[in-house]
Amino acid sequence: MPAEWSRHESTWLSWPKNPLTFPPETIAKVEAAYVEMVEALARGERVDILVDDDRTEERVRRMLSAKNVAFHQIRSADVWMRDYGPIFVTQVEGRRRGVAATKWKFNAWGSKYDDLLPDDATGLEVARSTGLRIFETGVVLEGGSIDVNGRGALLTTEQCLLNKNRNPALGKPQLERLLHDYLGATSVVWLRSGVAGDDTDGHVDDIARFVDENTVVCMTERDPRDENHKPLEEDQAILSRHEDDKGRRLEVVPIEMPRAVGGDGGRLPASYANFYIGNSVVLVPVFGDAKRDSAALETLSDFFHGRKAVPVDCRALVFGFGGIHCVTQQQPAAP
């Protein structure tokens, strides 16, 4: 699996419409965030968008000025392309060179949302639409539960991958073998748990992300009274101690969490780690906290020279318990 900063062929999205995720008073703001994301990404790569029908496609076309956009009438229950969509891989050695799709099972984060289970089939249809070779693993895994540096290192959490609501018969050795065989992982960093409000059981893309082959940004919470303080402190310590298969340590760069963002049901999983790296931009979630938003933008900008850091107001998007990285999935360019 290539690093996210490797050259993309395109970025995949599914246009928002589920009223249980984004109620009527929220959906317009979510669509505005989508327009901003698509316009920024399309300057550097094609954006592939799932829509349910002709009527939706025409409406969305009128909202966009970007031309580098392809629509696919593939029905979806919701927007979480990162988790139900295919995870693309490349092969650069031997006679076969190119891109393939791995399709993992999606069970709506441990069967929490029965109405979203059909998106397992949506992800397979997306993979088939590319015309690429497909490897079906038969194992539950969401794209938001992992992050890679493109050179064999992979981040994940025990809270998610070892959760009995995913693959109860598989332990660390079996999962590490699968991550090696399908994604090329040679060194797995097992963090403990995720951030407060996350209904995915600790997805790593709200905690820590690679920004280059040897550097990870990790969320931190200074306030010892905050429920995120101790888990993030433990995760940062694990990252600092980790050595890869060649004995190399990671450089860990902290980013302070945004102030707590609340919804009707309590705290929402707002995190600056849920950024997305496009060919020409880095989409950075912001939450109306001027000081911390600016600090996160500055830190991430330092790692991606040549890419514009674009702040995207995610206060409406996170109302659906996800963010920019959760709704995007990169299709890498052929090596």
Give the residue ranges of DSSP H helices in 64-203: 81-84, 108-111, 119-129, 158-161, 172-183
Write the DSSP assignment of 264-324 as a string of letters. Answer: TTEEE---TT--EE-SSEEEEEE-S-HHHHHHHHHHHHHH-TTSEEEEEE-TTGGGGT--H
Dihedral over Cα of 309, 312, 315, 318: its sign: negative
> Distance between CA 146 and CA 62 in Å, rounded?
35
Rounded alpha-carbon distances, angstroms, from residue 51 to 13, 15, 334 = 9, 6, 26
314: annotated active-site residue: no
As to burial, measured by CB atoms within 10 angstroms (0-12 exposed, 13-18 middle, 19+ buried), residue 281 is buried
The residue from 160, 218, 314, 326 that is catalytic is: 326
> Distance between CA 37 and CA 44 in Å, rounded?
12
> Distance between CA 264 and CA 272 in Å, rounded?
21
> Distance between CA 215 and CA 155 in Å, rounded?
12
What 3-state class would DSSP assign to 214? Answer: coil
CB-side exposure of 87: number of CA atoms within 13 Å? 28
Active site residues: 326
